[in-house]
Amino acid sequence: MAEITVAGRYRILREIGRGGMGVVYQVQHLNTGETLALKALLAHTGEQEDILERFKREMRAPALIKSEHVVRITDADVSPELHGALFLVMELLSGCDLDRLLQKRGPFSPEETVWLLGQAARALDKAHAAGIVHRDLKPENLFLHRRSDQGLIVKLLDFGIARLSDRDMGGREAKVTKSGAILGTPMYLSPEQAMGEPEEVGPHSDVWAMGLIAFELLTGKTYFQSDGVTRLIGQICFQPLPPASARGSTLGPGFDRWFEKGCTRDIKARFPSVGAQIAALAETLGLPASLLSNTTAPPSLVSALRSYGNQTDPESTVHDPDGAPVVPPGRDGRTTTSEGRGQSARLLRAPRFVVGILIGLAAISLLALGALLRERTKPPADPGKGHSAAKQPPSERRSGDPTAPTPTPPGDATTATAGKPTAPRDPPPSKPKDEKPGLARKRPVAPPPPRPAKRLGPSSYDPVAP
C-alpha cells in the first residue's frame, strides 16, 4: 500500500486486522520512532451514535482504570487521511491471547491458570472500583504479552462494551446500553446479561465469566455445549447447571464447590470480587497464595509462548477490531487440539453484531415459547360449566352462557365453534354427512331410528377438533 501518514505523525507500516467496524494498523510515530497500534473506525460506522460512543469508552476505560494489566492508550484524534475517521493509538502487544494458546497446546496446569487469572483479577478489581464492568470477558480478551525485558504479563483487552458509570459517560450510558439489549459473547454471558437486564449487570457478571474461563483453561473444554444460540441461552438461564465434574473436570469436589459459587444464578451468592474468587481457586487447588502476587510467570508459560509464536507477527493470526480473530489466507486459526472446542465454540464466538442479532432472535423465541406453554397449561375459567354447556343442545342453553358458541344454521358452511377454520361444504365420500331431519323420509330404505338433535360441539369436519 502507498505510504500514508495519519494526523501528520503516524506512518502506517502494515494492516494488522480488519473487522465490520474498524481496522487496526501497525504504525510508527514520526517524532519518537515508537512502534504502536492504531485502531480506526470505518467511515460508515462513524455515523452510528452507539458505535461511536462504544469506541469513545474504549478510549476512556484504560485511563480510568490505571493498571499495567490494561492496554495503554496513548492518543486519540480524527484523521483527515482516513476520510475523517476517529482513531485511537495504543501500545503494540507481543504475544498471543489465551484462546489461541489453549488451542495450540491444550489445557493449562493449575499453577499456570491461577497465575494468569490472578493477573487479570488485578485489572478487574481496579476496574470495578472505578465503576467499570467489562461485560465481555473471554479467553480471547486475555492477552499474554511479552515485555521488552522478556518477562510476561496478562493484558485485558476490549473495553468497547464495558459499562462505565454515568459520571464517566456524561449521562450517555442509557443511550448505548438500552433496556433489553444483550451485549457480550454468548458462551460467557451471565444470566442477567442473557436475559437483557442491564440494571442487574455488575461486577458479579464478570465473576460469572471468570468462573467459565477458569473451567475452560483447566479442562480445555467450554462448560456450555450447544450448537445454537437459542439452546445456549436456555442452558444459561433456565436449565439445571451440572457440577464441573459432570462436564469434564477431574479436579475433585472442591473445584465443583468453587465453580458452583462463581457460576450460580443467584448474584448475591457469588464471590464478592474477582480477586477473592481467584484467591479461593488457589486455595482449592492447593497452591500458595504468594502465586497471586508473583510477577514472574511459571517457566512453562515462557516456553509455551516461545514455541507458539507472536500473534501480532505478520505471519500469525491477529485480532479483529470487533473481537473476532482474523486468519491470514491458508491458515486455520481456529484449529483445536482439545475436545469440546469445535464447531459450537466457533459459532458462539461470532462477531458481536452477528451475535446481537442471533441472541435477539433467541430471546424472542424463548419468550414466545414461554407464552405458548402458559396458554396450553392455563385451566379454563369454569371447567364444569364449560363441559356441561358443550353437551347441551342449543335450545337448552341460556342466552347468557359465556361458554356457548353462536348457533349456526344447519345449512351454514361455517363451523359451529367461533374462531375455527371454515369446514368444507360437502363431506368426504367415505363419511357421508348426517341427513337433515326433514329429508330422512325420502330415502329409499326404511328410515333410521330417531336421532337426537344435532349438537354444536366439535364437528367431525373441524380440522382442529380433538
The catalytic residues are 136
Residue 347 has which C-alpha cell?
459459532
> How many whole angstroms separate alpha carbon 179 and alpha carbon 166?
15
Residue 352 has which C-alpha cell?
458481536
| Sequence-ordered list of residues with C-beta below 8 angstroms from that of 254, at least 6 positions apart, any chain | 284, 285
**Continuous segment of H or E residues that includes residue 319:** strand 318-319
Query: Residue 37, by phi and psi: left (phi above 0), alpha (psi -120 to 50) or beta?
Result: beta
> How many whole angstroms separate alpha carbon 5 and alpha carbon 12?
6
Nearest to 126 by CA among 70, 73, 170: 70
Helix, strand, coil % (nearest 5) of the chain? 40, 15, 45
> How many whole angstroms separate alpha carbon 440 and alpha carbon 432?
14
Query: By CB neighbour count within 10 A (0-12 exposed, 13-18 middle, 19+ buried), where does 319 fall?
Result: buried
What is the torsional sign of CA 203, 209, 212, 216?
negative
> How many whole angstroms separate alpha carbon 125 and alpha carbon 127?
5
Nearest to 40 by CA among 90, 1, 95: 90
Residue 261, SS3? helix
Cβ–Cβ under 8 Å, residues 192 and 267: yes
Q: Are strands 152-156 and 95-97 parallel, antiparallel or unpaired?
A: unpaired
Q: What length does the chain have?
A: 466
